[in-house]
Amino acid sequence: MKAKMQILCFVVAVLGFTACATLTPGGQNVTYVTKQEAPTGYTFLGEVSLGMLEYGQSYKDTLIRLRNKTAEMGGDFLVVDSIESVQSGNSSYFEGSGRAYKKPEPKPGN
C-alpha cells in the first residue's frame, strides 16, 4: 500500500497537479496590469504563457504562475493579456498569457 501511495504522489507531482502555486522571491517583485499596455520606456522581454502541464487551478493561481515566469525571464513587469477558464470533459483549469517587461533602471541622482 505504501508503494502505491508513493507512486501516486510521484505521478501527481510530475503532472503538475500539486497545490496552488506560490510566488517565488522574484515573482514577488513583478508588478502587473490588465487591459492596458506597459508604460513607455519598459523593455519587452517576450511572451509569457503556461505550457501544457502548467495550467492554473484558479485565476489567482494562474496569475501567480505568470508572475513567476516573468521573473524567470528577468522581468519585473507583466501585462496580462488573458486568463480564461477552460472546461475539458469533467475537469476544468485556467490558461493564461501575457507579456514580460523590464522596468528601466533609475537614473543616478533620482
pLDDT in tens, 79-101: 999 999 998 888 889 999 999 99
Mean pLDDT estimate for the chain = 84
| The predicted structure's pLDDT at residue 64 | 97
Q: Which helix (H) or strand (E) holds 48?
A: strand 43-49
Distance CA(67)–CA(59), nearest Å, equals 12
As given in the structure block, the three cell numbers for residue 18 are 500539486
Which sequence spans correspond to the domains of the chain?
20-102
Using an 8 Å Cβ cutoff, are 101 and 44 in contact? Answer: yes
The CATH fold of domain 20-102: Translation Initiation Factor IF3 (3.30.110)
Per cent of the chain over pLDDT 70 is 82
Evaluate whether 61 touches 21 at the Cβ level (below 8 Å): yes
- Tell me which residue of 102, 101, 100, 103 sits closest to 47, measured CA to CA: 100
**pLDDT per position as a tens digit, 31-44:** 999 989 999 999 99
Counting DSSP H helices and E strands in the chain, the numbers are 3, 4
